[in-house]
Structure 1
Amino acid sequence: MNNCRALFSFVSDVVSLYYHSDQDVQKDPELQAWTKDISQEGFAELPDFGMPNKLSTKEELSTLLTVAIFTSTAQHAATNNGQFDWCAWVPNTPCTMRLPPPSNKDAVTMEMIMATLPDVGQSCVQMAITWHLGRAQPDAIPLGEYTEGHFTELPALKLIEKFRMKLKEIENQILDQNAGLDLQYLFLLPSRIENSITI
C-alpha cells in the first residue's frame, strides 16, 4: 500500500510540473486523443469498464497514470515474483490433472492422488516455466530508475530523487517488518520491483 501512495504522490507531482491547471489537461489534444483511443479502442469489448473518454482534471490524469504504472510494476511484482516459491511444490498449483476430480472424497487414496497429479515430466516443465517467469530478469530496471533520460529538467530530476528517497524509506520499513521472520515476504521491496514488465 505504501508503494501505491508513494507512486500516486510522485505521479501527481510530475503531472503538476507539466500541467498547471485542469484546463491545461482539457486543452491537450494529444492527451485527449490518447485517452479516447484507450477508452474506445482499447476497451471496445468492455464498454462498461468505466474509463472516461476524456480527462477533465489533473487528478483524473494522475489516477489513470498511477493505475497504469502500478499495474505494470508493484502489482506485477506481487503476482509474478513469488510464482516459483508457490508453484515449485507442484501439488499447490498443478499445471494439469490427469484424472477427473473424485466424486466421493471418502474413496480418495494416495494412489489416486498420485495418478491425478502431473507426472514427473509435466512437473519439471511447470517448475522450469515458473522459475523463468518469476526470476529476476537480467535486463530489469528497478522502480524509480529511468535509464532513457526523458526527464532532463531540474524540477523533474528533483521529483525523481524525492521518489527514490521515499522508495528507500519503504524498502527499509519492509526489511524491518520482515526481520527475524522465518518466512519473509520481500517481493514488494522497491529494489525488487521492475520499472516495467520485462517478460
Structure 2
Amino acid sequence: MPTAMRTRGVDHAAYVTAKPAETIRFYRDVMGLRTPHVITAKGWGSRPHPDFVHFFFDIGNGDRLAFFYYFGVPEDPEAKSPDYHLALHVDTEEELLAWRGRLEEHGVRVIAQITHETIESIYARDPNGMVIEITRPLRDLTDRDRRDAELSIEALLDCLADDTEPTLETFWRRKAELVAKELDNEASPDDPAGGDPETGREDG
C-alpha cells in the first residue's frame, strides 16, 4: 500500500449510551481514564439528527473510547444505532482526501465529510453496514482541551442530576456557569482586574 494510503491505527471507537452518568463514573472514576476532549452539537450531517454530547476517554497510545449521548432520546434496547463506528487515524488532509478518492474509485459511497471542532472526518459503510470513519487532527489537543472536557462532563452530570429533562441548551448554560465560576476563582478577590495587589497598578 502506498505511504499516503496508510492509517495510523485506531483514533477512536464510538458507541451510544442512554446512561451517560453511569458511563462517565465507570470509565472516569472506576477505571481512572482521563477525558481529553468533548464535542457538542445541535445535530450534524444531512439527515435529521438529535442534539448530542460526544465524550472521549483516553485508553492509551493515542487511542480513545467515545460515547454519544443524545438529548431527549429515550432508551430503546431494541434499536440499532447508526452511530456505532470505528474511526481510523491519518495525519494530514492529503491522506484524508486520498482515502476519499480510493473509496470512491472502488464504488464505495462516502456518506459525509465533516469538520468537527478539532478533527475532519470522512464516513463510509463496510459490507456489514458498520460505519467506518477516517479522521485527521486539525490541531494537537492541549491541557485546555482537557480542562474544557472536565467542565463539560461536570456540566452534563449536573444536568442529568436535575429533575428536568436535560437539553443541549441547559447543558450549555450550566457549562457557562461553571466557566464563569472558575474564572472568578482565578481572579484575585481584592483585584479582579489582575493588578498588583500591593501598588494597585495594573500589570503592563
TM-score by length of 2: 0.23
Higher relative contact order (CA 8 A, sep 6+): 1
Q: Which one has a larger percent helix, Structure 1 or Structure 2?
A: 1
Larger Rg: 1
